[in-house]
Chain A
């Protein structure tokens, strides 16, 4: 097990499976205060309420105390303090650091400066590995396995870091992929080359109706307005890549829809009550997965299953 979790590439297939197994233990018994007396620093250089609350809930459930900040306005960073100095200081105070930062590579750098484990809670558009692990946990939980699944990824496949990391992590488990996106937001060539090199089959389509009926997982992402130079194009695309209840009437019974949230209109409200909707439970799974990640990095292993 590596000391830090900065990128999903830091975890081997075995590390991933062990973490997911531990997450299951926490789901069965969420109150295991193994971190009593420990201090977890939650330092958010840009606001992200959802991720921060999930991490802080996880640390609280483990019995740790939390210090930190949720934006930089009230800190010395607004006075121009370097990331290095902030991390040096915080790692003197705490047993583990959870960090979100707008600059890419900031988490890797922090892990090299810090004397305690660092968890990357998102470094700009680069990595968000705990999201990937909670996605894997949600897939394992709903499908009973990770192996041999058909996954349809929809929306912004060009800039969406969650789809890139999930695609790479899933590639340990013989998947097949459908990539559904507008021309402007197609899966970049480097990732397709990666799949070709690993012999993993995939197809690409612009039509959302195409890859729904044989999918085990439909992974929806938000199409962001700022990615488009032409606002008319955005309005057109936004409405095309919107999933509604009638579209999934012929899908497989085990099919689940995941979304990293927040959603805007990629998934219509009428899907929420369907047995295929899983995005809210997915967010809840984030707490158990993060409890497992924190425990693993602090080398706590003897938990109740």
Chain B
């Protein structure tokens, strides 16, 4: 069978591959892609040997700082990052979970100050493999992956 790209190639930019399909829109949100003016193409529910269903995002003429891109490790840690120059992959990156998370995630404790006043959330990450847990800097409660809610960037 002839191999064909489901999402067309980009000349320069960043490709995020192997995103679990159900996390695609959260990834878009965390990276604030809805505000980007560059050309972005994405595929959703593509067949993947690894994940069953995967998603892919190709963002033209955009490169991310490690701190920014690592934020998606919270929800899609297996995502592979490919840096593209002139249609060639010039660098492959893997995500690493940042030791602190500022903003992005909502504290799951309804009585936490961050859920009542204009206080930006701040967590330290606890690697309790294979899971990631977040320890709130303010109320000292744990937010686990099942209760992880992303504060919308839009």
- Interface set of A (CB-CB < 8 Å, partner B): 7, 82-84, 101-106, 108-109, 123-127, 190
Contacts and interface: CB of A to CB of B under 8 A. Distances in A.
Interface string B114-144: 1011110000000000000000111111100
Given A82-B118, A83-B117, A84-B117, A105 B142 contact: no
B118 A105 contact: no
B111 interface: yes
Interface string B13-36: 000000000000000000000000
Interface in B94-130: 107, 109, 111-114, 116-119
A102 B138 CA distance: 13
5 contacts: A103-B111, A103-B113, A104-B139, A105-B119, A109-B113
Given A82-B117, A82-B118, A109-B119, A125 B111 contact: yes
A83 B113 CA distance: 9
Contacts of B141: 104, 126
Contacts of B137: 105, 108
A109 B137 CA distance: 9
B129 to A, nearest CB: 15
Nearest to B118: A82
Contacts of B117: 82-84, 103, 109
Contacts of A109: 113, 117, 119, 138
Nearest to B109: A104
B55 to A, nearest CB: 34
B113 A127 contact: no
Most chain A C-beta atoms within 10 Å of own C-beta, residue among B107, B109, B111, B142: B111
Contacts of B109: 104
B145 to A, nearest CB: 16
A125 B111 CA distance: 9
A127 B112 contact: no
Contacts of B139: 104-105, 108, 123-124, 126
A83 B112 CA distance: 13
Contact of A103 (B112, B118, B140, B142): B112
